[in-house]
C-alpha cells in the first residue's frame, strides 16, 4: 500500500517570507516524496509562516503543526502516513527532549517521519535504534544552541537600538515600518508617504463623523484602494475591519514607539513598558487620536440590528429603574410598510402604516427573567420629548458646568507618580544597605516595596489611559453645538445624511446624559453630566425640567426663574 505523505515547511519570521525558503522547502519535499514513491497532493502541504520552533510557536495552538499533532494523538493516521520535513529542527528547536518526544509521538501514532536533507527515515511502529537516537540528540542540541545564540544576539541588537531611540536616535531600526512610512536607505531616516498619511487621516475623520468600520472598508474597496497589510500574499483581497482596527489604535500615528516582546510561554507580543515619544513622524494630531479612542470606548456599548440605521438614539443610555438593566428597543411598525388584513365583512384589504411605532421594554422582563417592570413606553413619544428638551437646554449657557475629570485624573497621576518615585528611591537605598549588612527585615521591606511599585505602575498605566480618553472627550459646550448642528438633518429625506445626524446625536446624548431610568409607571427620569439639571418625562411625553440647586442653594431652582420674577 502506498502511504499518503505530508510536507511540513516553516520559517521563523515574516521577513523570511520575502525570500525563497518556503518555495525551496516545498519543491525539495515534492521531489523527495516522488523519489520515495509515496502518495502526495497539494492539499497535504503544511506551512507555518512566521512560527518559531525555538520558542515552540509552531507547535502552539493555532499553528498547522499543532493540528497535525492533535490528529496523530486521536489516531487519525493509524493506517499509516508520512510526514516529510527538511530537517528535524523544522519541527522543533527546543532541545533533544522535545525532539525525541515528538518523534515517538508520531511513530507510535502511525506516522513515519522522513527528513530529506540527511535522508533519514523514522518508521512508524518501529523502535528508533540507538545510533539514530544519539544522532537526533546531537542534532537537536546543536540546533537549540544555534537558536539560543541567535536569540541572544538579536535581543542584544534590539536592546541597543531601543536604548539609542530613548537617547534621541530617530533612525529606522528596520525596513519594516508603519505602512505610511518608508526608510531612506541613504540616511536611514523615516519619511512620510504623504498619500497614505492622507488616507489614514481620512479613515480617522470618517470614524469621528459616525461611520462604522464596515462602511469604511466598503468605501476603500469600492474606490480600489490598495491594501497595505504587511505579509498579505494577495493584496487584491482588499481592506478589512481587523486592519482598520489596527490603524485606529496604532499609537505610531502620533509618533510613539512602544517596544514589544514575546516570552516563550506567550502566544502574543507583550509591551516592554517603554514608550519613546516623537520617534516616528507624526501624521495624526493627538486630539484626533484621543477623540477616536474615546469614541471606540463609547461604541463598545453599541450592538444589535438597530445600530445599522440608528433607529434607537437612546441605545446604551436608557436603563430600567427596577433592575438597572438595559431597555430593549422593540419595533412593531415602520412607516410605509404594507400589511394585508381582512375587513369586518371578510373582504381582503391592505393597510399602509403612516408612522413608526416602537416601544421601550425592560430587557430582563421581556425575557421573563427576574425583573417585574413589564411597562412599555412608546419610543417615538419619548425620543421627541427628550430631543426637544435637550435642544432647549443646549441653547442655555447655564445648563452645563466645565468637566473636571481631566483635572482630577492629572492630579491623581501626579500623586501616584510621586509615590512610585519615592518607593523606588527607598528600594535603591535598601538594596545598597543590604550589600553592606544583610538584614532579613530589610530584605522583606525591599521585596514589599518592589511588589507595591509593580502594583502602582499597573494602576498608573490605567490612569493614563483614562486621561487619554478624558482628553479625547468633547467639552459639554462642544457636544451641545454638535447636537444643535444635527437638529435639522435628523428629519432629512437623504437617508445617508439622516443616518449620520442620528449617529452624531446619539454620541452627544451618550456624553451629555449621566443617568436615564424608565420606571414601571412609564415615566422617565434623566440627570445630566456636569449639570444640576434633572429632566422628568411622563407617559404622554410631557417634560418637566428642574435644577436641583440654585446659585444661593435653593432647591428646585430653574434657570429661567429669576428672569420670570
- How many helices, marked H, and strands, marked E, lie in the chain? 15, 20
- In this prediction, residue 85 carries a pLDDT of 87
On whether the CB atoms of residues 90 and 8 are closer than 8 A, the answer is yes
Tell me the pairing of strands 190-192 and 270-271: unpaired
- In this prediction, residue 314 carries a pLDDT of 92
Reduced to 3 states (helix: H, G, I; strand: E, B; else coil), residue 115 is: strand
Reduced to 3 states (helix: H, G, I; strand: E, B; else coil), residue 181 is: strand
Burial label for 137, CB within 10 Å (0-12, 13-18, 19+), is middle
On whether the CB atoms of residues 349 and 343 are closer than 8 A, the answer is yes
Q: How far apart are CA 446 and CA 428, in angstroms?
A: 9
Q: Which CATH number fits domain 5-148: 3.40.50.1390, 2.70.98.60, 3.10.20.440, 3.10.20.30?
A: 3.40.50.1390
Q: At what angle do helices 241-249 and 213-222 cross, to 10 degrees?
A: 110
- In this prediction, residue 141 carries a pLDDT of 66
Q: How far apart are CA 89 and CA 139, in angstroms?
A: 8
Q: In the chain, helix, strand, coil percent, each to 5? A: 50, 15, 35
* CATH 3.30.70.20, domain 170-295, yes or no: no
Reduced to 3 states (helix: H, G, I; strand: E, B; else coil), residue 292 is: helix
Query: Which residues of the chain fall below pLDDT 70?
Result: 1, 12-20, 52-55, 130-133, 136-138, 140-141, 143-145, 147-156, 158, 229-237, 260-273, 300-309, 341, 351, 402-403, 469, 471-474, 548-565
Helix (H) or strand (E) holding 543: strand 543-549
Q: At what angle do helices 379-394 and 495-512 cross, to 10 degrees?
A: 70
Q: Which residue has the cell 479613515?
A: 203
**Cα distances (angstroms) measured from residue 552 to each of 396, 546, 549, 555:** 19, 15, 8, 9
On whether the CB atoms of residues 360 and 321 are closer than 8 A, the answer is no
Reduced to 3 states (helix: H, G, I; strand: E, B; else coil), residue 60 is: coil
For residue 46, what are the β-bridge partners? 8
Which grid cell is 314? 437612546
On whether the CB atoms of residues 228 and 178 are closer than 8 A, the answer is no
User: What length does the chain have?
Assistant: 565
Which pTM value belongs to this model? 0.56
- In this prediction, residue 515 carries a pLDDT of 92
Q: How far apart are CA 473 and CA 31, in angstroms?
A: 62
On whether the CB atoms of residues 457 and 421 are closer than 8 A, the answer is no
Q: Phi, psi (5° rounding) for residue 271?
A: -70, 150
Q: Which residue has the cell 542540541?
A: 141
Q: Phi, psi (5° rounding) for residue 183?
A: -100, 135
Query: What is the distance of C-alpha 76 from the center of its chain?
Result: 37
- In this prediction, residue 438 carries a pLDDT of 72
Amino acid at each position: 500500500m502506498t502511504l499518503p505523505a505530508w510536507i511540513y515547511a516553516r520559517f521563523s519570521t515574516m521577513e523570511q517570507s520575502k525570500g525563497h525558503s518556503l518555495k525551496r522547502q516545498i519543491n525539495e519535499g515534492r521531489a523527495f516524496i516522488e523519489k520515495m514513491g509515496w502518495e502526495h497532493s497539494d492539499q497535504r502541504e503544511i506551512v507555518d509562516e512566521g512560527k518559531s520552533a525555538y520558542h515552540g510557536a509552531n507547535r502552539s495552538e493555532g499553528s498547522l503543526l499543532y493540528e497535525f499533532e492533535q490528529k496523530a494523538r486521536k489516531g487519525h493516521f493509524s493506517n499509516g502516513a508520512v510526514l516529510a520535513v527538511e530537517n528535524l529542527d523544522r519541527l522543533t528547536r527546543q532541545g533533544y527532549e522535545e525532539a525525541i518526544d515528538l518523534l515517538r509521538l508520531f511513530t507510535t501514532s502511525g506516522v513515519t517521519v522522513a527528513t530529506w536533507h540527511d535522508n533519514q527515515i523514522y518508521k512508524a511502529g518501529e523502535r528508533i535504534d540507538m545510533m539514530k537516537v544519539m544522532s537526533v540528540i546531537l542534532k537537536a542540541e546543536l540546533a537549540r544552541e544555534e537558536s539560543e545564540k541567535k536569540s541572544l544576539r538579536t535581543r542584544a541588537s534590539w536592546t541597543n537600538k531601543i536604548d539609542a531611540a530613548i537617547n534621541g536616535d530617530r533612525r529606522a531600526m528596520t525596513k519594516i515600518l508603519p505602512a505610511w512610512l518608508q526608510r531612506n536607505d541613504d540616511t536611514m531616516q523615516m519619511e512620510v508617504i504623504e498619500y497614505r498619511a492622507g488616507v489614514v487621516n481620512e479613515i480617522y475623520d470618517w470614524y469621528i463623523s459616525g461611520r462604522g468600520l464596515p462602511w469604511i472598508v466598503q468605501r476603500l474597496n469600492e474606490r480600489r484602494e490598495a491594501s497595505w497589510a504587511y505579509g498579505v500574499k494577495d493584496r487584491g483581497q482588499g481592506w478589512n475591519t481587523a486592519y482598520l482596527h489596527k490603524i485606529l489604535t496604532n499609537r505610531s500615528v502620533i509618533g510613539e514607539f512602544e517596544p514589544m516582546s514575546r516570552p516563550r510561554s506567550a502566544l502574543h507580543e507583550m509591551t516592554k513598558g517603554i514608550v519613546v515619544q516623537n520617534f516616528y513622524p507624526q501624521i495624526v494630531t493627538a486630539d484626533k487620536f484621543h477623540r477616536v479612542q474615546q469614541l471606540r470606548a463609547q461604541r463598545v456599548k453599541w450592538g444589535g440590528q438597530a445600530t445599522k440605521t440608528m433607529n434607537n438614539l437612546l441605545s446604551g443610555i436608557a436603563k430600567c429603574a427596577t433592575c438597572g438593566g438595559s431597555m430593549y428597543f422593540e419595533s412593531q411598525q415602520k412607516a410605509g410598510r404594507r400589511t394585508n388584513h381582512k375587513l369586518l365583512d371578510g373582504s381582503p384589504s391592505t393597510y399602509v402604516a403612516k408612522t413608526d411605532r416602537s416601544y421601550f421594554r425592560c430587557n430582563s422582563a421581556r425575557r421573563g427573567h427576574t425583573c417585574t417592570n413589564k411597562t412599555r413606553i412608546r419610543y417615538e413619544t419619548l425620543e421627541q420629548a427628550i430631543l426637544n428638551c435637550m435642544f432647549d437646554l443646549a441653547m442655555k449657557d447655564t445648563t452645563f458646568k466645565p468637566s473636571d475629570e481631566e483635572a482630577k485624573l492629572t492630579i491623581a497621576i501626579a500623586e501616584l507618580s510621586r509615590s512610585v518615585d519615592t518607593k523606588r528611591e527607598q528600594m535603591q537605598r535598601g538594596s545598597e544597605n543590604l550589600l553592606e549588612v544583610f538584614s532579613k527585615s530589610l530584605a522583606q521591606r525591599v521585596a514589599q516595596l518592589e511588589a507595591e511599585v509593580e502594583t502602582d505602575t499597573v494602576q498608573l498605566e490605567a490612569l493614563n489611559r483614562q486621561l487619554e480618553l478624558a482628553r479625547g472627550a468633547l467639552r459639554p459646550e462642544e457636544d451641545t453645538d454638535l447636537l444643535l448642528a444635527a437638529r435639522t438633518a435628523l428629519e432629512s429625506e437623504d437617508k445617508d445624511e439622516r443616518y449620520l445626524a442620528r449617529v452624531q446625536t446619539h454620541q452627544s446624548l451618550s456624553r451629555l446624559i449621566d443617568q436615564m431610568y424608565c420606571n414601571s409607571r412609564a415615566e422617565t427620569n434623566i440627570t445630566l453630566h456636569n449639570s444640576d439639571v434633572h429632566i422628568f418625562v411622563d407617559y404622554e411625553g410631557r417634560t418637566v425640567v428642574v435644577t436641583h440647586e440654585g446659585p444661593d442653594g435653593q432647591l428646585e431652582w430653574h434657570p429661567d426663574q429669576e428672569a420670570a420674577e
